[in-house]
Chains A and B, each alone.
Chain A
Amino acid sequence: MGLLVEIKKKLKGFSLDVSFSIDGEYLGILGPSGSGKSMTLKCIAGVETPDEGRIVLNGKVLFDSEKKINLIPQERNIGYLFQNYALFPHMTVEENIGLGLKLPKIEKKRKVKEMIESFRLQGLESKYPNQLSGGQQQRVALARCIVYKPDILMLDEPFSALDSHLKDQLQMEILALLKLYEGEVLVVSHNRDEIYKFCKKLVVLDQGKSILFGETKDIFRQPRLHSAARIVGCKNISRCEIISAYSVRAVDWGLILNTEHPVPDRTKYLGIQAHDFHLLKTSPDAGIARQNNVIKCQIEKIVEGELEYNIYFRNKEFADVNGNSVLLYKVRKELWDNRQNKGDVYLRIPEKSILLLE
């Protein structure tokens, strides 16, 4: 059981080179726009053909360039929820859901009715897609996929088209509805939160290449690669030089930092998440500061968000001003507003929060 994907395909501007395998867990594919996420799904669904590689779903070979196997989409039994839902505009909700079913009429009717009830679409049976709200359209599209009992369900940016104030509720709804479906689920998104909430396993795509694959939590905690760190949302990344087994120099920030673990030889960058700084209550001695990964901050700009401040700052004791020397610290409003030391701001970077990157 499970899905194995190892494919390559030359495209305009970049080439796709993706490999991963899952076994029953929800898999997320995370990457910026244009990184080949949708193309990967299309190759799995069979509406696009890779140049070489293999796709195996639950033991069934869907594509194998060496053995010259390439099943047509109709034979693959894959549920594909398109980003824009791709509902047939000239058909009612009922017709949309039942269209792909190859069952006797009465059976089909019963099945469609069942789906309409499970997906809370009662009363909308004879409405056309453009008479529905975004959330309703999405439920119809999902029902249309699931009624067909696919071996895998692939969701392409499932929430990008929805209003943000509805998103949380709809995400919960979809999670609950997905419980109706027993099988592999693959979610493509450029949104880190969505992936983190939905998916146990994660593939990170960058310019068509799958650069990381593993447990979602592990990758978010330690992205290992410079490009992956950016994609999972690490805002502060500096070039780095290795000084000793447990210390590095952050070249762009003019800091020497101690690390929790020995520094791997291949380390070229280091990162720190914007939430991971510690605001110090008092001004430390210069010597202690240096030993403890403390930065004296030169505040550049403070942007007020709904719950947090985004504080952009530099290392006050580092003269080299360049585009990369600005760091971002995200802090809860009350913590910042109630800070005792209103003079110079000192931030500490905990050893365990330093991401060493290749």
Chain B
Amino acid sequence: MQMSPIIISMKTASAAIAFTFLLGIFVARWVVNIKSEKAKMVLDGILTLPLVLPPTVVGFLLLIIFGVNRPIGKFLLEFLGVKIVFSWPATVIAAVVISFPLMYRSARGAFEQIDPDLVMAAKTLGMSERKIFWRITMPLALPGVAGGGILAFARGLGEFGATAMIAGNIAHETRTLPLAIYTEVAAGNMEAASYYVIIVMSISFLVVALTNYFSLKERKYLK
């Protein structure tokens, strides 16, 4: 067993959740405040798509966007000297795109179940929009937002299909835990694979336990 898949996976999942968490909250806030129901529905569909599409399809689409012969990939390579495909950042991009819908939907649900009267009351009390967000909206949405974050982290950690498509399976570079398990099994090393499996299972169990802790944690004001 090597340490590198574990380190790469932790790095990827941590970097991915940082993006997904903020992006998910931001986009959820934005969609919740859209007035037109139609626009909302269409946007919601697009934003949820990565959750229902096969990860390989998402990976394929990402390849089309970031491939070095495609406009965006070409631009990044020629002007910034950054090659996305088959490099570590690609693992992060794959994890972000795949885990985003989980974060977005949880955050959106959490924002939508807040009584609109509370926000109105806060406004009539002279509170600025920023203060309302930090003192009213976020604390009340926190259980849902935190739950979404944990789920998104777990999903990012387990990401396989899209990662394989866009980041490849390069040892010490893009080989995350799920890819390492696949590689070991393909090579007939069941024992090496089982160590990785145990590590993934432990992390996943910890995550589920954390989720339950957050959702069951006694919040004083609900007593």
Task: Mark B133-158 against chain A: 1 for CB-CB distance below 8 A, else 0.
Answer: 00110011000000000000000000
Chain B residues whose C-beta falls within 8 Å of the C-beta of A79 in the assembled complex: 124
- Contact between chains at A129 and B120 (CB < 8 Å): no
- Contact between chains at B128 and A73 (CB < 8 Å): no
- Contact between chains at B126 and A102 (CB < 8 Å): yes
Q: If the complex has contacts A73-B120, A82-B117, A89-B140, are A129 and B221 also in contact, measured as CB distance less than 8 A?
A: yes
Task: Mark B102-131 against chain A: 1 for CB-CB distance below 8 A, else 0.
Answer: 000000000000010110111111111000
Q: Is B187 an interface residue (CB 8 A)?
A: no
Q: Is A42 an interface residue (CB 8 A)?
A: yes
CB contact between B123 and one of A74, A89, A102, A131 (< 8 Å): that residue: A74
- Contact between chains at B126 and A77 (CB < 8 Å): yes
Give B222's nearest chain A residue, CB to CB.
Answer: A130
CB contact between A42 and one of B120, B139, B140 (< 8 Å): that residue: B120
Q: Is B217 an interface residue (CB 8 A)?
A: no
Chain A residues whose C-beta falls within 8 Å of the C-beta of B221 in the assembled complex: 89-91, 128-130
19 CB-based A-B contacts, threshold 8 Å: A42-B120, A45-B120, A45-B124, A73-B123, A73-B124, A74-B124, A78-B124, A80-B124, A84-B117, A86-B117, A86-B118, A86-B120, A88-B122, A99-B125, A99-B127, A99-B135, A102-B126, A130-B221, A130-B223
- Contact between chains at A76 and B220 (CB < 8 Å): no
Chain A residues whose C-beta falls within 8 Å of the C-beta of B121 in the assembled complex: 80, 82, 86, 88
Chain A residues whose C-beta falls within 8 Å of the C-beta of B120 in the assembled complex: 42, 45, 47, 73, 80, 82, 86
The CA-CA distance from A171 to B77 in the complex, in Å, is 73
Q: Is A24 an interface residue (CB 8 A)?
A: no
Chain B: interface residue total (CB-CB under 8 A):
21
Q: Is A264 an interface residue (CB 8 A)?
A: no
Q: Is A249 an interface residue (CB 8 A)?
A: no
Task: Mark B182-223 against chain A: 1 for CB-CB distance below 8 A, else 0.
Answer: 000000000000000000000000000000000000011111
Distance to closest chain A CB from B54 (angstroms): 41
CB contact between B115 and one of A80, A86, A99, A130 (< 8 Å): that residue: A86
Q: Which residues of A are in contact with B by a Cβ distance under 8 Å?
A: 42, 45-47, 72-74, 76-80, 82, 84, 86, 88-91, 99-100, 102, 128-131, 144-145, 148
| 6 nearest CB pairs, A to B | A100-B125, A86-B121, A73-B123, A128-B221, A86-B117, A47-B120
Q: Which residues of B are in contact with A by a Cβ distance under 8 Å?
A: 115, 117-118, 120-128, 135-136, 139-140, 219-223
CB contact between A74 and one of B127, B139, B140, B223 (< 8 Å): that residue: B127
Q: If the complex has contacts A73-B120, A89-B221, A90-B221, are A100 and B136 also in contact, measured as CB distance less than 8 A?
A: no
Chain A residues whose C-beta falls within 8 Å of the C-beta of B140 in the assembled complex: 89-90
Chain A residues whose C-beta falls within 8 Å of the C-beta of B115 in the assembled complex: 84, 86
Give B127's nearest chain A residue, CB to CB.
Answer: A100
Give A78's nearest chain B residue, CB to CB.
Answer: B124
The CA-CA distance from A144 to B127 in the complex, in Å, is 13
Given A46-B123, A90-B140, 4 more contacts at CB 8 Å? A73-B123, A100-B126, A128-B223, A144-B125
Q: If the complex has contacts A73-B120, A84-B117, A99-B135, are A131 and B223 also in contact, measured as CB distance less than 8 A?
A: yes
Chain A residues whose C-beta falls within 8 Å of the C-beta of B135 in the assembled complex: 99
